[in-house]
Amino acid sequence: MSVMNFIRNSPMKLPSRVLNLRNSSFFGLRHWFHHPFPCEQKLFCKTNAFLPNFSYNSQFHAYPSPFLPFRRVINNTKKPNWSTSLDLSQSGSVSRPYVSTDVRVASRVRDLSTSVETRVKDQNLDKFYLQNGINVNPFVVERIEKDENVLGGEVPVAEDVNNVKNIGEALEGRKSGIKVESDIEKEAWNLLRGAVVTYCGSPVGTVAANDPGDKQPLNYDQVFIRDFVPSALAFLLKGEGEIVKNFLLHTLQLQSWEKTVDCYSPGQGLMPASFKVRTVPLDGNKFEEVLDPDFGESAIGRVAPVDSGLWWIILLRAYGKITGDCTLQERVDVQTGIKLILNLCLADGFDMFPSLLVTDGSCMIDRRMGIHGHPLEIQALFYAALRSSLEMLTANESSKNLIRAINNRLSALSFHIREYYWVDMKKINEIYRYKTEEYSMDATNKFNIYPEQIPSWLMDWIPEEGGYLIGNLQPAHMDFRFFTLGNLWSIVSSLGTPKQNEAILNLIEAKWGDIVGHMPLKILYPAVENEEWRIITGSDPKNTPWSYHNGGSWPTLLWQFTLACIKMRRLELAEKAVALAEKRLSIDHWPEYYDTRNGKFIGKQSRLYQTWSIAGFLTSKMMLENPETASLLFWDEDYNLLEICVCGLSKSGRKKCSRGAARSQILI
């Protein structure tokens, strides 16, 4: 395996004439939207240009990858403001090449080697520290015990053929200093590259699923903003950034398109849920590639994708952090795109709370599952997007009011979630003793929650040392279900306090069989059943108990769990979950989700070769191999936010501001 060559970055090709299907004469609609740079193709060479590019093989422009055995160099005049909670100034630390060859294999290679190299301190336990002396818990790896019955401690002559092959590959990798990919990782990369979609010759994303046996792909052959995020991170961590840059810019152009459902247009900043590259005929036996976005007007239920814009901002920050290329986020059109999304999210309304009010099905759970209102998943992504925007927005006269609004919203949102969404044994006992119908500025039960709402399963389920953020909060309603994505992103973005973040992982560890089971991780726990299922889901045949969004297990959540574990320095939990997934994903053909209470069976309607299952696994593996780079993707606590308060209560004399409560939690 040779070291990747540096390839110069080429400017992104501007899109061709693009198709606004809502106003087009093609497909029975009205007119075309023309771009001055057409991208026309001959019939004989581009008839299937819109399909996934199965021959696509690592053609992305590359930048120095942190996974190569030399120090990462960023050629950039503006040094990005990267911050990490990891201590890089550990005394006595020495920078050295990172070698991630499996330690057990490497140990056997050394035993089988014919070299006369002297072994020094050959003990049963070796500690392997990460490069740069990073201050995290060392990986303690137990070596393979020598067989005392074999002369000289040598292994038996009869070896499995595959083991010999892997040992040989490990030996080569050890000599070159480059990580040796397992067969499963190689398969995953081949599948991920096979899912790449090109537009005018450039990669722009990956399809949601590439199941050859799927006769009715519906919209699984489209590029989803939400689904592409783990694929983007995998490519970025691999050192291939062109596809991510193209994706960000093309979806940005789609943002400004006219969006109409029944003669009504939503806000200008709305990002599409997905898009597809189509090929349309032109005169003279020519064809043209066009982008066809879906803003929710074709989706099941016609729900606008609230989380798409939030994911786009988060991915834009990740691109800058990993590549060191801050010029993309500084572009005028990109800055405008960020502002349009934020203006849509920060618009004044009737809400009394700083959390975003959304309809059911407006995020990863895109079907009716009783999450309308203020679901935790949206609030956690909203918080992460606000913090990302604060880092990327250019501070000037035109943006100062927006930056002030972001700071105020961050402060109010973090206090709201930490104070009112958090439950543990102590908090549940408080709710159990709540008085109701309190009409007072000093009311304890501010949302008039009836103690009878506490479900019977929760009393026995909540562990002594753990806790979590509930799924939703509205007047007289608390959704006590555990929503995994929202809790994980509360850790990653520091929406929760450090103590709360630790307690969430403690709960997952204590309830491993319920939340992880045979396949990580449950999208929510527990499933709604019987009459509750009929009322909440409308008798949805796809969301039956312990299936799909109703308690199904989704492998794509693995990378988010891994990132949260890295932040909280609980790598052993992430490694345990990745090992579970690695046992089954390839054998089961990379399903979209798993069914049953413990995730034992492939989902009854699960697509196979689901791209974000593949990418989530690869991203998790790479983040575990290099936690230092993964640390660029999360946020540390911002203590300055605790000092910001615009409530004005102290000035009016009606009530003293309660911001001290949040401050006291942070400092614990």
Domains defined for the chain, CATH in brackets: 306-662 (1.50.10)
Which secondary-structure segment (H or E) carries 624?
helix 611-625
Residues 410/390, Cβ–Cβ less than 8 Å: yes
Give me the sheet containing 467-474, strands edge to edge: 422-424, 467-474, 477-483, 524-525
The amino acid present at 234, given as its one-letter code, is A
d(CA 541, CA 254): 33
Sign of the dihedral through C-alpha 620, 626, 627, 630: negative
Cβ neighbours of residue 657 under 8 Å, at least 6 residues apart? 645, 647, 649, 650
* Residue 63: per-residue pLDDT: 52
* Residue 519: per-residue pLDDT: 97
- What torsion do the CA atoms of 115, 95, 76, 205 make, to the nearest 10 degrees? 60
The amino acid present at 209, given as its one-letter code, is A
Average pLDDT over residues 286-313: 89
Beta strands in 58-190 (DSSP E): 125-128, 139-142
Residues 424/377, Cβ–Cβ less than 8 Å: no
* Residue 316: per-residue pLDDT: 98
d(CA 437, CA 449): 9
- What torsion do the CA atoms of 40, 45, 48, 51 make, to the nearest 10 degrees? -80
* Residue 146: per-residue pLDDT: 37
3-state SS, 568-595, equals: CCCHHHHHHHHHHHHHHCCCCCCCCCEE
Residues 361/367, Cβ–Cβ less than 8 Å: yes
Q: What percent of the chain has pLDDT over 70?
A: 69
Residues 162-186 pLDDT 10s: 444 554 554 455 445 567 889 999 9
Which of 8-17, 198-207, 408-417, 512-521 is predicted least confidently? Answer: 8-17
Average pLDDT over residues 414-429: 96
CA atoms within a 13 Å half-sphere pointing along the CA-CB vector of 476:
3
* Residue 135: per-residue pLDDT: 40
Q: Which residue do the tokens 């753990």 mark?
A: 466
Residues 251-291 pLDDT 10s: 999 997 777 767 777 778 899 999 999 999 988 888 999 99
CA atoms within a 13 Å half-sphere pointing along the CA-CB vector of 47:
3
Q: How confident is the model at residue 300 (pLDDT cuts 50, 70, 90)?
A: confident
Q: Which residue do the tokens 């898009």 mark?
A: 275
* Residue 217: per-residue pLDDT: 87
* Residue 666: per-residue pLDDT: 45
Residues 524/549, Cβ–Cβ less than 8 Å: yes
Q: Which two tokens stand for residue 107?
A: 């140990």
d(CA 228, CA 207): 8
Residues 540/582, Cβ–Cβ less than 8 Å: no
Residues 520-557 pLDDT 10s: 999 999 999 999 999 999 999 999 999 999 999 999 99
C-alpha Rg value of the chain to the nearest Å: 26
Higher-pLDDT residue of 52, 125? 52
The amino acid present at 256, given as its one-letter code, is S
* Residue 541: per-residue pLDDT: 95
DSSP class of residue 547? B
Residues 478-494 pLDDT 10s: 999 999 999 999 999 99
d(CA 84, CA 100): 22
DSSP class of residue 155? P
Higher-pLDDT residue of 205, 212? 205
* Residue 56: per-residue pLDDT: 46
DSSP class of residue 373? B
DSSP class of residue 25? S
* Residue 215: per-residue pLDDT: 83
Q: 3-class DSSP state for residue 483?
A: strand
Closest CA to 589 of 555, 627, 541, 538: 555
d(CA 131, CA 605): 44
d(CA 58, CA 609): 19
* Residue 396: per-residue pLDDT: 94
d(CA 632, CA 641): 20
**Distances, alpha carbon 24 to alpha carbons 28, 29, 258, in Å:** 7, 4, 12
Q: Which two tokens stand for residue 44?
A: 């004989």
Q: Which two tokens stand for residue 26?
A: 């093609």
Q: Quick check: 331 pLDDT over 50?
A: yes
* Residue 636: per-residue pLDDT: 95
Higher-pLDDT residue of 653, 184? 184
Closest CA to 26 of 326, 381, 279: 279
Q: Which two tokens stand for residue 56?
A: 């696509």
d(CA 476, CA 49): 53
Residues 30/23, Cβ–Cβ less than 8 Å: yes
* Residue 134: per-residue pLDDT: 38
* Residue 509: per-residue pLDDT: 98
Q: Which two tokens stand for residue 62?
A: 């590359």
Residues 301/219, Cβ–Cβ less than 8 Å: no
Which of 100-109, 224-233, 254-263, 649-658 is predicted least confidently? Answer: 100-109
Q: Taking the model in full, what pTM does it have?
A: 0.75
Query: Mean pLDDT for the chain?
Result: 78
Residues 311/226, Cβ–Cβ less than 8 Å: yes
* Residue 655: per-residue pLDDT: 53
The stretches of 51-116 forming alpha helices (DSSP H) are: 103-112
Residues 424-439 pLDDT 10s: 999 999 999 999 998 8
Q: Quick check: 325 pLDDT over 50?
A: yes
Q: Which two tokens stand for residue 64?
A: 């120095």
Q: How confident is the model at residue 303 (pLDDT cuts 50, 70, 90)?
A: confident
Q: Which two tokens stand for residue 187?
A: 């398969």
Residues 574-623 pLDDT 10s: 999 999 999 999 999 999 999 999 999 999 999 999 999 999 999 999 99
Average pLDDT over residues 613-641: 95
For the beta carbon of residue 145, count every other beta carbon within 10 angstroms.
8
Q: Which residue do the tokens 């203590």 mark?
A: 639
DSSP class of residue 220? T
* Residue 124: per-residue pLDDT: 37
Higher-pLDDT residue of 348, 189? 189
Q: Quick check: 411 pLDDT over 90?
A: yes
* Residue 443: per-residue pLDDT: 87
Higher-pLDDT residue of 543, 31? 543
Q: Which residue do the tokens 């053909």 mark?
A: 589
Q: Quick check: 45 pLDDT over 80?
A: no
Q: How confident is the model at residue 87 (pLDDT cuts 50, 70, 90)?
A: very low
d(CA 582, CA 563): 17
